[in-house]
Amino acid sequence: MTAHRIWNLISTAGLAILIVASQAWADSNNNGPPKISYLDSYEPNTIGYTFDSDDVPFLDVKLSVKASLAPDYVRKVFERLDLYLGLTGRFGQYIGTRHSSPVVGKRYNPELFVRYKSPTDGYIELGYAHESNGQDITSPTEYDQARLNAERGAFAKDQISRGWDFIKVNLKSPSLKINETNGNLNGYLILKYFLPHGFLQGNIEEYNDWENDPEGKPRDRVNGIGVLLKIIQPFKWGILSDFKTAVIYETGYRDIFRYNTIRIEVGMKILEIPLIARTSSGYNSDLAQYYKKVYSWGVAYEIGGF
């Protein structure tokens, strides 16, 4: 087992333990109703099915939580500041579309960040994060062997190791009322700077020349600048309620606006079950082949998005 994979296992297990410990500490130190939420969804949690133009369909699962660290003490010093530990993981299970229906790790993303909340519901986040796909192929010899062993040679690309540490800055605008029925528009700016050598990752692991892919390129050419616009429209009509629309745009900070990604999501609660449909054209459909332009669509059950 490589050091890179060991790190992914340690970070995932360690953060899970810290999140549980944070919740236990909160439960034991709050005599009345909690003033602060100690454990929340971070990115929306989703369970769905995804169809990528460069892959076979798969069950697509993303789990994402954030734990507030010592919030009572932090708030005593900085009234509007919170310190968080976040963990996001994504994996795909190829049920019936690959031999033995394997589960493939696609994203491991632990991060430590501070959030300053404005007097309204906007905020700014500053953090340090690691992101990788949990795989371990790092040489042409290993890759050639994996291609020989794979059901299809192209599937071996899922096993190529990718990893980055990055500095992030996220900004959320105050909610803007768009109509008299309390429809809200929120805007987000997401900025990342990928470090050539990180505290957690070590040397960056991205596209290698020996992969011989004409689309191969560094991550900072396709990612690093993102804008999200999200509209939540409350309503109730029979079994239907609460309509959501989200548009996400991403590009790199090298060759800015040259390699672009657009994602669109629409969702609605049906019998109080939040369901979304999503489509995208661009890059970062998964970390293994982040550099490849892919057309994607899918449906999902979403928790924490609206």
- How many domains does the chain contain in total? 1
**Cα–Cα distance for residue pair 302/306, rounded to 1 Å:** 8
Q: For position 31, what pLDDT does the model report? A: 52
Where is average pLDDT lowest: 32-46, 161-175, 189-203, 253-267? 32-46
**Cα–Cα distance for residue pair 215/233, rounded to 1 Å:** 40
Q: For position 115, what pLDDT does the model report? A: 95
Give residue-wise pLDDT tens across range 236-248.
999 999 999 999 9
Strand ranges in 73-196 using DSSP code E only, listed in sequence order = 81-93, 103-117, 123-132, 163-172, 176-177, 184-195
Average pLDDT, integer, range 279-286: 96
Give the range of the structural domain holding residue 15, as residue numbers without chain letter: 3-31+38-303
Instruction: Decide if pLDDT at 83 tops 50.
Output: yes
Give residue-wise pLDDT tens across range 294-305.
999 999 999 887
Q: How far is CA 121 from the centre of its chain?
A: 22
Q: What is the CATH number of the domain that holds 8?
A: 2.40.230.10
pTM: 0.85
Instruction: List for the chain the helix, strand, coil content (%; round to 5).
Output: 20, 50, 35
The residue whose two tokens read 């004409």 is: 214
The residue whose two tokens read 């290993």 is: 142
Average pLDDT, integer, range 158-173: 96
